[in-house]
Chain A
Amino acid sequence: MERNRRLRVMVAKPGLDGHDRGARIIARAFRDAGFEVVYSGLHQTPEEIVHAAIQEDVDLIGLSSLAGAHSYLFPAVVEFLKERDAEDIQVIGGGIIPEEDITRLKAAGIREIFTPGSTLDDIVAWVRENVNPKE
């Protein structure tokens, strides 16, 4: 009888650094929160991430990055979304990201940045608050 849309999120890990533990942890937290999570794996280019997100018709892309590549990879995802006319898909990022970068990333269209100080509950709560399944 439920005909409410369920939140669909893609968790992706752009860049070349080695493991995806962080991305998997966040994917599980989103699942436990009742979201439908499309996990797209390691080593993807921003353009690949955007293509996948559009095919999957997600509401949100969660990007995870460890090795400092966020400063160009995260904004590149936002740019490609714009290019493909898919700005309704929101983007958030997480990782070890210095304070000064956060302001810049937000200015570039990343909705929120989560650093190791944020708990999984914080992230889930933010998503619940700020992202609605599209109508």
Chain B
Amino acid sequence: MPSTSELVEKVISGDVRSVARVIRDIDDGIPAVRDVLKALYPHTGKAYVIGITGAPGVGKSTLVDQMIGHLRADGKTVGVLAVDPTSPFSGGAILGDRVRMQRHSMDEGVFIRSLATRGHFGGLTQSTRSAIDVLDAMGKDIVIVETVGVGQDEVDVVRSAHTTVICVIPGMGDDIQAIKAGILEVGDIFLINKADREGSDKTLSDLRLMIDMDQKKYESGTWKPPILKAQAVFDQGVTELLEEIAKHADYLRSVYGDLRFRARKDKVREELAEMIKNRLVETVLRGITDTGEFEEAAEAIVRGDIDPYTASDDLVLPKISLPDPE
């Protein structure tokens, strides 16, 4: 095992094995990885993060593959996190997004990593955020996060992106309505992929209507999400998408003055609250699990000796006034 400082040096110098190892530690919830992340933090803040989300099979990975091609031709280095929030907490997963990006696997300027749901604390949003930091620290100019659209998890995952692209396909009809719940708010750009199929104009007008009706968010002077058409598999519309992403970056720069994710107080608040919550839950729950208090309390509740309100007070309150056991 290399020391923390060795590992940090190697990540910063772009060593692929070390980067892969650190992401694995994040993924596996290894406590020591926090020290690596702390040391990497000063080297983050340079990458531009693009989130790509949408229902299963709409062509996200195909699109990411084409985006990588264009960005590389432009001289940009690219990190990709292919996130699958659909696998069960305990149990296996098949991660297949790489298949579509195969042609880039030998390119030293591209790093592709698949992530699945894990049972440890913090969950996928936190691991994705940390993995983005690692790819950022290794010097990737652009980090693309692909995640399949299934609900709150995906929304949380793409919150870490500067620009979020929501992918749909023609003829989704009711599905478009389903997008409304939550995901519409996080979309900076909408992309109708598979525009070679019937119905893309209808989908476009449906989407336009939904976005325009969302008055509250899109006041004048704020970013109005454009709707684009693409045929990812034929590399159509990908240049236009990248142009819109660049425009959105300009917009963010004009509003916030700084593109660093942690220069934005709204994002920082969100992340900090999340981290505190995870840290607390992790520390307290691990402590009382290790000592067996958790099981004892559960049994006591089952026996009817105590109510869950009192039990949780008894378990938590004494703990949070103590210093971190780690």
Contact = CB atoms under 8 A, between A and B. Distances in A.
Interface of A: 1-6, 8, 27-28, 30-44, 47-48, 51-52, 54-57, 84-86, 133, 135
A74 B256 CA distance: 53
A33 B92 contact: yes
Interface footprint category on B: 20 to 34
A57 B131 CA distance: 13
Nearest to A8: B24
A32 B23 CA distance: 24
Given A36-B116, A40-B98, 6 more contacts: A36-B95, A39-B96, A39-B98, A42-B99, A52-B98, A57-B17
Q: Is the contact region of chain B dominated by helix, strand, or loop, or is it mixed? A: mixed
Contact of B95 (A5, A34, A38, A84): A38
A48 B90 contact: no
Contact of A57 (B21, B31, B92): B21
Contacts of B285: 1
Contact of B29 (A3, A28, A32): A3
In the A-B complex, the 4 residue pairs with the smallest Cβ-Cβ separation, listed nearest first, are: A41-B99, A31-B92, A57-B20, A57-B24
A73 B262 CA distance: 47
Contacts of B98: 38-41, 52, 56
Contacts of A38: 95, 98, 114
Contacts of A4: 28
Nearest to A43: B102
Interface in B191-216: none
B93 interface: yes
A36 B102 contact: no
A55 B109 CA distance: 12
B142 interface: no
Contact of B17 (A36, A43, A86): A86
A54 B16 CA distance: 7
Nearest to B282: A1
Given A3-B28, A3-B29, A48-B102, A55 B93 contact: no
B102 A41 contact: yes
A23 B55 CA distance: 25
Contacts, number: 93
A12 B114 CA distance: 15
A56 B92 contact: no
Contacts of B119: 2
B23 A57 contact: yes
Interface in B108-161: 111-114, 116, 118-120
B113 A32 contact: no
B192 to A, nearest CB: 26
Contacts of A84: 17
Given A3-B120, A39-B99, A57-B23, A31 B112 contact: no
Nearest to B96: A39
A89 B95 CA distance: 18
A47 B102 CA distance: 12
A24 B147 CA distance: 22
A54 B92 contact: no
B105 interface: yes
Contacts of A51: 105-106
B292 interface: no
Task: Name which of A27, A38, A41, A133 has the most chain B CB atoms within 10 A of its CB.
Answer: A38
Given A3-B29, A41-B99, A48-B106, A36 B93 contact: yes
Given A36-B116, A41-B102, A56-B20, A3 B30 contact: yes
Nearest to B19: A55
Contact of B28 (A6, A56, A85): A6
A44 B104 CA distance: 12
A58 B24 CA distance: 9
A40 B20 CA distance: 17
B152 to A, nearest CB: 22
A40 B16 contact: no
Task: Name which of A39, A44, A133 has the most chain B CB atoms within 10 A of its CB.
Answer: A39
Task: Name which of B17, B94, B118 has the most chain A CB atoms within 10 A of its CB.
Answer: B94
A55 B113 contact: yes
Nearest to A40: B98
B325 interface: no
Interface string B78-112: 00000000000011111110110010011000011
